[in-house]
Each structure stands twice: as structure tokens, then as C-alpha cells.
Amino acid sequence: MPADGALVVEDDRFLRVVGVVLDPNTPPERTAAYADFFAHDEPDFDGYCRRVRARVGKLFPREVRLVETQAEMRAALPGSPALVVESLRVGNEELAAGTELRVVQKFGFSPRNIDTAACAANGIKVLTIRRRANIACAELAIGLMLTLAKKLHRLAGCISVEQLREAGYTYKPFDRRHTPNSNWPRISGLRVLNGATLGIIGLGEIGREIAIRAAAFGMRILYYQRTRLPAAEERELAATYVPLETLLTQSDWVVPQLPGGPATRSFIGRAQFAQMKPGAFLVNVARADIVDRAALIEALKSGRLGGFALDPLYEAPGRHDDELLGFDNVVLSPHIAAQPRFNALDDLADMMEGLSKELAA
């Protein structure tokens, strides 16, 4: 192991791959677990590790110190030239502990948890990465919105009179001597995203990616979170800050993009469903328990909620008799938002290569 300093890395389940790739002392069972985790998209995980090691030069081999808390991070920083964080804060205390730091890497695009001015004052480079996995989550959110808007989950492959009848649609031909023939099954209730209002609760990394794509569809974008964004960022994202109640009452589509944990559990419950515009849709690609399940089912049964989409599920694996599957305006998918696995693998490879270049400079 070279004596040029350990790499300090926040102990995120994806960031653990940094240790698997760079640290020869990683336990074999962890390497095997990640080989299994990635196998359906990358069957040659050992080959992936070898390819990344070839790209990162003297960064490999390297001791990788995984830290979970602020205190652990400060204790691990002495002697380290580089720090990788996702949500842990980096400020004056951390920089005072890491006197040999040359680079701080944010595992994400927005370094809001990093005091960039303090880093600059100490000659420390701050790196960011626009994660492909976050982009994939945003793509799924838009895909689920389109699925509900166009009823694709009910209509895909439903092209015969018999199939339509089974789906609840009675075929009656138009008088083609006078009319066009579009929507010949007479499907009612179809929606367009253009001109609709999207309310995003939490305009973080994934929320921003959703906003960018929603703007391309011509949607009006509202957002709510504890801290309002600077005006320049609001203009860039074409997003308007409003109180939560305003967002709920005005939005045709509501996307809660919040982290998991006690503070956000059942963030959307009976009171919030009561505030939502009748017929609005709810799309959740964050954490299932952000939405109170009992209140959700009540809102679906009453007809107040126009539709619902969820990824990941309330339990994994799900159940074939899940009550939510009984609603024809609900779409469930089995935790595929950030996929394929190459999103994470490529993000991590690019990040490690970027660190290697900074440390070699």
C-alpha cells in the first residue's frame, strides 16, 4: 500500500465500491456481494475493477477509510489528500482536521453541503459529478407521468375489439365519410403534460433533473422545500417557489422528492390529499413511506386522486395481491428508477479517474 495518504469516503452503499476497486484490503465477501449486485448488467465485475484501476494510475492501490458520521470523518482526515462525500458536511472543522487535503469530491452535482469558499481559501479543489443514476430517476418519473397521462399501462397491446371490451371500452365506429379516425376506441380521460402544473417537493439533485425535463414538455413548475433556492437557480430551472399548501392546491402533478427517514415518513397524508387539486396525480420515485399508504388508498377509493405511480415499493419483493394493484389508475414498478447498473458503475469510474488526475497534478 503506498504511503501517500488514505482516501476518506462517506459510507454510502454505492460509494463502498470505491473501496472494492481501490483498497486491496477490502473483505472478499464484500467484493463478492457487489459482483452479485452488478451481475445482471455487468457480469464481469472483476473486469470492471481492472479497467478502472488502469484508468486511475497511482490512485490504486489505496487505503479507503469509510466514515458514517461527522466525527468519524474528522478523525479519519489527518494525512488524507482526498475526501469523498455525499451528504456529510465539509466546513472549517473538517478542513482543520484535514490539513493535507487537496481535493474534496461531492458524489453529486450540487455542493450545498460543502463550504466551497473555505475550500478555495485553503487551496482545496472541489469536484462534482452529475450522476447518471439521478438522471435515470428523473427519466422514470417523466415516464410514469406519461404512462398515467396516456393510460399506457391499460392500453399497451389492447388493439382488438375483444381486448378493448375486456378493458371496459365499447367500440363504436365513427362515420368515416365525415370524420377522422383518431382514438377510434373512444378512450376518454387522456392527458397532456404540456401546459399542466408540476409541483416538486424537494428540488435536490433528482428534483432538478425532473424539473429540467418537465420544462422541455412545457410544464409550469412549482417547488417547495425548507430552503428557497437563489433567484438565479430558480430562473435556470424555470421553477417558482411556493408554500406547500399552494403547491398542493395548484398542481396537476405532484412529485415528492425527499430523502427517507423519520422526518419525512408520511409527509403526504390525509391532510395533504385533502389539499390537493381533485383529479391530480401523484408520482413517487423517492421513498414509498413518504406517502402514508392508508391515506393514499382512501384518496384513490374516493376518486380525489387522479392516479398514482410508485417506485420503489412499500415492501420488496411486492405481493401479487397488493391492494394498490386493484386500481386501474395506479402504476407500480419494482425499484428500477436508477437503472441500469452501468449508471452507477460509470459514475464511480469517472469520479475515481477525476480524483486521480487532481492528485497527480
Read off the CATH number of the domain in which 288 is found.
3.40.50.720
In a domain, 341, yes or no: no
Q: What is the pLDDT of residue 160?
A: 95
Contact 46, 34 (CB under 8 A): no
Do residues 327 and 196 share a domain? yes
Do residues 75 and 202 share a domain? no
pLDDT tens digit string along 17-28? Answer: 999 999 999 999
In a domain, 353, yes or no: no
Residue 330's CB is within 10 A of a number of other CB atoms, namely: 21
Q: Which triple of cell numbers denotes residue 33? A: 456481494
Q: What is the pLDDT of residue 2?
A: 42
Do residues 93 and 208 share a domain? no
Instruction: For 7-43, give one letter per residue: b (16+ CB within 10 A) or e.
Output: bbbbbbebbbbbbbbbbeebeeeebeebbebbeeebe
Domain that holds residue 283: 134-151+189-332
Do residues 44 and 97 share a domain? yes
Do residues 204 and 85 share a domain? no
Do residues 110 and 200 share a domain? no
pLDDT band at 1 (very low <50, low <70, confident <90, very high): very low
Q: What is the pLDDT of residue 37?
A: 97
**Domain count across the chain:** 2
Collapsing DSSP to helix, strand or coil, 127 comes out as strand
In a domain, 158, yes or no: no
Please tell me whether the overall predicted TM-score, pTM, comes out greater than 0.75 for this model: yes
Is residue 260 over pLDDT 90? no
Closest CA to 55 of 354, 359, 345, 342: 354
Do residues 98 and 35 share a domain? yes
Do residues 301 and 203 share a domain? yes
Contacts 24+ apart (CB under 8 A), 90-93: 90/114, 90/115, 90/119, 91/115, 91/118, 92/118
Give me the amino acid identity at 20. V
Percent above pLDDT 90 for the chain: 97
Give me the amino acid identity at 99. T
Strands, sheet with 220-224, edge to edge from the N-terminal-most edge strand: 239-241, 220-224, 197-201, 253-256, 281-284, 307-310, 330-332
Do residues 31 and 142 share a domain? no
Do residues 147 and 91 share a domain? no
Across the chain, mean pLDDT equals 95
